């Protein structure tokens, strides 16, 4: 049945009108590029070309798409294209934890959630006001470009400073703080679906589940005390979906990781916690699952365990075939598929625009809805993001500062970043580059791939050096090596009496490790953000003659 025939029925068709393969396909969410053209695809291993994607949506009936890449305006066109291809209206998702601008340029980007956790330690009211505003702005901008499902918020309690995959993505380090800010964020996100992740809690691990399977030794009593309360609060606040974590808790399930565990998904989340919404797996292409369970067995195990939606299976077509075979053999009861479809249909009825499936046949082609790009990056949204950056920033100005004592000497701007080639926040006009250049600093950028030894710098003439470090949790590749390199540069610049000031962008755990090594007469600034706005605010505060003034408290946010 075509989309126009569904429209002629007066709304979203009941799932029972679909064949078994189409029913199963509705439970699959595939990855796609946010760019419009095949030659723009950045991750071909995960993002299919247009012909393949159109086949998946039009002929196989995949139920959703997760997008990455492109500008917000491009994505607005892309989501309309995808909905045009679909036989049933799509859930279109994105990992938007720091505002739409985090993933799609041109929209509003916010500092990572832990910035609000830092504010909450001083002023809980201000932090919850910010969190609600962040949720409302994010939801409005997502909806404006056709995204109807936020894979956010992260409700993990980041109580392990070595955590490479959660880190500053969490609201904080205590269940109380995470619960309060989660609830505030969800109050603002009524226009779209939301997702609490990663169940039952991914905060206390030093292993990146993108690469391998973390093993968590905690018992249920510990989970009840630390990890689970934010999920309980999110459920009470009406979160629409819960995403599973790819980690193993032997005390609760000696065999399977959480994503594939009936004890955790059905027994704990569905039955004990009473969650009635969608359970979605984390991406099944991640190493923690893909390296152990195979492309087609993992989706079957996930549905057996109680998941409703399979996110990014390694082989989407093979996953459909394997699940159908499991149903036909009796391994998975057909009622299990039907229960997930009922939950999925309730979600789609809520957020799939009436214009998509409620209008007369072909109305959509005749009068396509306008792109609501006027909702993107509004002045109030940008002001809110800047206020969050200022209120969470730390600035240290010693009375006898080196910053203004060497104005006649050579000045050097040394930037350390993980991967300069793929770094979208360090273009030529980025404040971290442009502002020091205006102030007479020469530039040197070093990343993890730079073939340079620090001792070779001893042949260079000494200079007053501004050291700028862009380091935060780095999924797929640990940031430990980058931190070690930063420590080596910090020591070298001190020993050669060249360290003038330090700017740290990203993780407070990096600041905590570097601060004991910094001389008391060296000023520094720390900001949770890495985007251009964060760079400008931080450098202007660092180079001010006095510490940055406290910003006024945020105004109450109203829709």
Whether the per-residue pLDDT at 454 is higher than 80: the answer is: no
Residue 396's DSSP bridge partners are 524
Same domain, 97 and 56: yes
Q: What value does the mean pLDDT take over residues 432-458? A: 84
Same domain, 168 and 246: yes
Whether the per-residue pLDDT at 1 is higher than 70: the answer is: no
Domain boundary among 372, 404, 438: 372
Model confidence over 307-363: pLDDT tens digits?
999 999 999 999 999 999 999 999 999 999 999 999 999 999 999 865 444 443 333
Is 552 inside a domain boundary?
no
C-beta separation of 141 from 72 below 8 A? yes
pLDDT confidence of residue 402: 63
Same domain, 214 and 114: yes
Lowest mean pLDDT: which of 36-50, 418-432, 474-488?
A: 474-488
H or E element that contains 394: strand 394-396
Domain boundary among 315, 343, 372: 372
Same domain, 269 and 333: yes
Is 436 inside a domain boundary?
yes
- Bigger pLDDT: 214 or 550? 214
Same domain, 287 and 162: yes
| Owning domain of residue 501 | 393-542
Is 413 inside a domain boundary?
yes
Same domain, 303 and 401: no
Lowest mean pLDDT: which of 268-277, 369-378, 419-428?
A: 369-378
Whether the per-residue pLDDT at 181 is higher than 70: the answer is: yes
Instruction: For tokens 């991640």, name the residue.
Output: 286
Is 556 inside a domain boundary?
no
User: What's the gap between Cα 170 and its chain centre?
Assistant: 10
How does 43-53 read in b/e, with b if 16+ C-beta sit within 10 Å? eeebbbeeeeb
**Residue 210 designated active-site:** yes
pLDDT confidence of residue 204: 83
Is 218 inside a domain boundary?
yes
- Bigger pLDDT: 415 or 165? 415
**pLDDT interval class at 405 (50, 70, 90):** low
Angle in degrees, CA 364, 367, 373, rounded to 5: 100
Question: What is the pTM for the complete model shown?
Answer: 0.91
Helix (H/G/I), strand (E/B), else coil: 110: coil
Q: What value does the mean pLDDT take over residues 71-78? A: 96
- Bigger pLDDT: 556 or 26? 26
Same domain, 315 and 441: no
Same domain, 46 and 100: yes
pLDDT confidence of residue 559: 37
Query: How many whole angstroms separate alpha carbon 518 and alpha carbon 102?
Result: 31
Is 387 inside a domain boundary?
no
Same domain, 404 and 276: no
For residue 500, give the CATH number of its domain: 3.40.50.10870
pLDDT confidence of residue 476: 53
Which residue among the candidates 38, 210, 212, 397 is catalytic per the annotation? 210
Is 77 inside a domain boundary?
yes
Q: What percent of the chain has pLDDT over 70?
A: 86
Same domain, 509 and 361: no
pLDDT confidence of residue 548: 40
For residue 32, give the CATH number of its domain: 3.20.20.300
Same domain, 76 and 118: yes
Which residue among the candidates 253, 282, 391, 418 is catalytic per the annotation? 282
pLDDT confidence of residue 469: 97
**pLDDT interval class at 475 (50, 70, 90):** low
Q: What is the mean pLDDT of the chain?
A: 89
C-beta separation of 153 from 162 below 8 A? no
Q: How many domains does the chain divide into?
A: 2
Is 139 inside a domain boundary?
yes
C-beta separation of 388 from 135 below 8 A? no
Same domain, 361 and 420: no
**Residue 282 designated active-site:** yes
Q: Quick one: three-class SS letters along 410-439?
A: CEEEEEEECCCCCCCCCCCCCHHHHHHHHC
């Amino acid at each position: 049945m075509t989309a126009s025939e569904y429209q002629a029925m007066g709304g979203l068709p009941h799932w029972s009108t679909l064949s078994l393969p189409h029913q199963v396909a509705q439970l699959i969410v595939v990855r796609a590029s946010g760019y419009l053209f095949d030659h723009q695809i950045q991750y071909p291993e995960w993002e299919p070309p247009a012909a393949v994607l159109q086949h998946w949506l039009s002929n196989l009936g995949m139920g959703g798409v997760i997008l990455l890449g492109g500008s917000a305006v491009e994505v607005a066109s892309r989501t309309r294209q995808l909905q045009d291809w679909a036989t049933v209206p799509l859930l279109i998702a994105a990992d938007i934890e720091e505002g739409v601008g985090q993933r799609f340029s041109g929209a509003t980007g916010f500092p990572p959630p832990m910035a609000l956790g830092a504010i909450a330690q001083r002023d809980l009211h201000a932090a919850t006001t910010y969190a609600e505003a962040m949720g409302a702005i994010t939801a409005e901008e997502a909806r404006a470009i056709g995204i109807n499902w936020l894979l956010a918020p992260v409700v993990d309690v980041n109580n392990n400073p070595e955590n490479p995959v959660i880190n500053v993505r969490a609201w904080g380090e205590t269940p109380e703080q995470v619960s309060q800010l989660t609830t505030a964020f969800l109050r603002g996100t009524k226009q779209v679906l939301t997702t609490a992740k990663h169940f039952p809690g991914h905060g206390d691990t030093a292993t990146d589940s993108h690469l391998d399977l973390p093993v968590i030794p905690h018992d249920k009593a510990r989970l009840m005390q630390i990890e689970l309360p934010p999920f309980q609060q999110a459920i009470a606040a009406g979160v629409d979906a819960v995403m599973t974590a790819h980690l193993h808790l032997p005390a609760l399930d000696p065999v399977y990781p959480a994503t594939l565990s009936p004890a955790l998904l059905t027994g704990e989340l569905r039955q004990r916690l009473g969650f009635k919404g969608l359970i979605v797996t984390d991406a099944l292409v991640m190493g923690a699952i893909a390296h152990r369970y195979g492309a087609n067995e993992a989706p079957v195990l996930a549905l057996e365990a109680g998941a409703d939606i399979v996110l990014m299976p390694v082989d989407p077509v093979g996953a459909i075939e394997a699940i159908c075979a499991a149903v036909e053999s009796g391994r998975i009861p057909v009622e299990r598929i039907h229960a997930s479809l009922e939950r999925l249909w309730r979600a789609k009825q809520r957020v799939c625009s009436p214009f998509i499936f409620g209008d007369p046949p072909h109305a959509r082609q005749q009068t396509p809805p306008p792109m609501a790009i006027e909702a993107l990056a509004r002045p109030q949204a940008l002001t809110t993001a800047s206020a969050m950056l200022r209120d969470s920033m730390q600035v240290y100005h010693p009375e006898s500062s080196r910053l203004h004592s060497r104005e006649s000497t050579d000045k050097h701007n040394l930037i350390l970043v993980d991967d300069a080639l793929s770094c979208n926040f360090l273009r030529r006009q980025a404040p971290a580059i442009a502002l020091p250049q205006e102030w007479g600093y020469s530039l040197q950028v070093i990343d993890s791939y730079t073939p340079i030894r620090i001792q070779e710098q001893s042949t260079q003439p000494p200079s007053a050096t501004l050291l700028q470090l862009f380091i935060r949790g780095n999924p797929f590749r640990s940031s430990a090596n980058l931190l070690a390199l930063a420590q080596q540069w910090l020591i070298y610049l001190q020993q050669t009496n060249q360290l003038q000031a330090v700017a740290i962008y990203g993780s407070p755990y990096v600041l905590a490790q570097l601060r004991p090594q910094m001389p008391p007469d060296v000023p520094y600034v720390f900001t949770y953000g890495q985007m251009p706005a964060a760079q400008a605010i931080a450098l202007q505060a660092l180079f001010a003659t006095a510490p940055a003034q406290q910003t006024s408290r945020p105004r109450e946010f109203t829709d």
